Chain A
């Protein structure tokens, strides 16, 4: 117990240190606006990747509609701040909740399907959401909403990312999370053990959608402008690449690959096609040679790195 508390304290101090250092670098302008945008994008991508990993990696339900949930969060939050003039925290919350509600509505019918059918259905829902925004004049149709106030900054993104990771990690380590992992391992067996598979699948889907909505809200308030095209299924594939590269079922893997791929994105910003070629080759090569992703289902921990103490007491699945 003492050991756990000590670890928690260390992690907390570490987080504050990372936050503080980057905040100082940003406020003294050692890291200029270009870096700020990409650092913020890293945080948003971490939120998106970790939340998709909950659905795809831990619950084993292959969703390709994450960009759709993200767009719901982005648009709803933009309406709240830009159209209604309300506060940003409220916009984040409502953005997340509306994406979560969409997650329930989409999840209940489509989670009856499995594997590739589920993938293509969620992709379809994502596209339908995009077409709806495209045809809604209130949110600007194809030209989108522009002039959204910039509220997203390092502080918001960093702490939202921390909250996302902590909540999802705690969810996975709870009995609910174990049910989700059981469903991933064998749905029929899980069902015969008395797990209400529909409930847990929808629950994971909704939580994932909620955080995707928050990610979308942060995204909208970082770039001034959102368009339906930004959230097409290519965006879902982007997020999927992060999850697959990091390892389906590894939160730290998702975080590391979100940081790495955002870095690749920043470097190759002017060469979009080349970037996608690299992404696609990464997908193929990872699947051919290491189908479980770079981290597999393992988690990265400092304790293991320094070989201190016994095996981590954290819950891992092999």
Chain B
């Protein structure tokens, strides 16, 4: 029971991070029907910015987080402008190949610029364990930070999407880009904004992972990126609450697999989930069926 709860809490912390990355995937997919393969690498850039901000600039947690968000945001918007926008009305395959190219570029550019070595993240929060109910539930302060920050981000995102004008534009473009354009929505600006928000959330996830696992490297974005994508598909891609639930589920499943089975099978299980969900219910847990029209 104790290990179960422990793994559950570990899973929820990891899951919140997946959920933050998955939100970026799902928003970009909702608006452009594109799997932004480079999203995991934007998360890596966010983690490194946070690392440099707190190690060399000696900034505190919140300023480093904000700086990481800003750098990733600029990167995300630039990538969209340079690599994706010119291809928006070309075939889907060419934009997918470009996304793979951007992802490889960021990973290997990162290796060249930052060296492939693993770096130790500074301990912004000294680890401290809290236990409740006679030690049945133990939770570290880092995990609390992860939960609090993720919840703030998700609530903030909901407010942006449902209470602001640009949020309305995002919803309009994701429902029907052509109709939205006819109604006077600036599609280019909305897409840029979506990339900005998604990238900023990925940066938050990057900084949180750095704090939680204490180590970062230029290839750290590959697996979490793929898993967050799986989380987005699991919840129903394009659906924001789906990405949150999918992310948490993925984190918990993964923690339980490594806790009770073998951690070597962890990646295999994640991909098995993806394949099962795509074969049984491709629209995801929260998705509705859409009929294909000719």
A residues 130-172 touching B (CB-CB < 8 Å)? 131-132, 134-135
Contact in complex: A288, B86 (CB < 8 Å): yes
Contact in complex: A281, B264 (CB < 8 Å): no
Interface assignment of B229: CB less than 8 Å from any CB of chain A: yes
* Residues of A close to B102: CB separation below 8 A: 280, 284
Contact in complex: B96, A62 (CB < 8 Å): yes
Residue from B95, B233, B265 within 8 A of A135 (CB atoms):
B265
Interface mask (B75-110 → A, CB under 8 Å = 1, otherwise 0): 000000001001100111111111011111101110
Residue of A with least CB distance to B96: A116
* Residues of A close to B107: CB separation below 8 A: 276
Known: A132-B268, A287-B97, A288-B83. A117 touches B262 (CB 8 A): no
Which of A94-102, A120-128, A304-312 forms contacts with chain B?
A120-128
Interfacial residues, chain A to chain B (CB-CB below 8 A) = 60, 62, 109-110, 112-113, 115-117, 119-121, 123-125, 127-128, 131-132, 134-135, 188, 237, 240, 244, 248, 272-274, 276-277, 279-284, 287-288, 291
Which of B1-9, B242-250, B270-278 forms contacts with chain A?
B270-278
Known: A132-B268, A274-B112. A287 touches B275 (CB 8 A): no
* Residues of B close to A112: CB separation below 8 A: 279
Please, how many angstroms separate the alpha-carbon atoms of A128 and B267 in the complex?
8
Please, how many angstroms separate the alpha-carbon atoms of A78 and B235 in the complex?
41
Residue from B94, B100, B101 within 8 A of A281 (CB atoms):
B101
Please, how many angstroms separate the alpha-carbon atoms of A171 and B172 in the complex?
46
Please, how many angstroms separate the alpha-carbon atoms of A274 and B108 in the complex?
7
Known: A273-B116, A291-B90. A284 touches B83 (CB 8 A): yes
Residue of A with least CB distance to B95: A287
* Residues of A close to B229: CB separation below 8 A: 120
* Residues of B close to A119: CB separation below 8 A: 35, 96
Residue of A with least CB distance to B272: A128
* Residues of A close to B267: CB separation below 8 A: 127, 131
Please, how many angstroms separate the alpha-carbon atoms of A116 and B233 in the complex?
12
Task: Please name 29 pairs of A and B residues whose Cβ atoms are closer than 8 Å in the assembled complex, sorted by A.
Answer: A110-B275, A110-B278, A112-B279, A119-B96, A120-B229, A124-B271, A125-B271, A127-B271, A131-B268, A132-B268, A135-B262, A135-B268, A240-B100, A248-B93, A273-B108, A273-B111, A273-B112, A274-B108, A276-B104, A277-B104, A277-B109, A277-B112, A279-B104, A280-B100, A280-B101, A280-B103, A284-B102, A287-B98, A288-B87
B residues 100-132 touching A (CB-CB < 8 Å)? 100-105, 107-109, 111-112, 116
Interface assignment of B183: CB less than 8 Å from any CB of chain A: no
* Residues of B close to A240: CB separation below 8 A: 97, 100
Contact in complex: B97, A283 (CB < 8 Å): yes
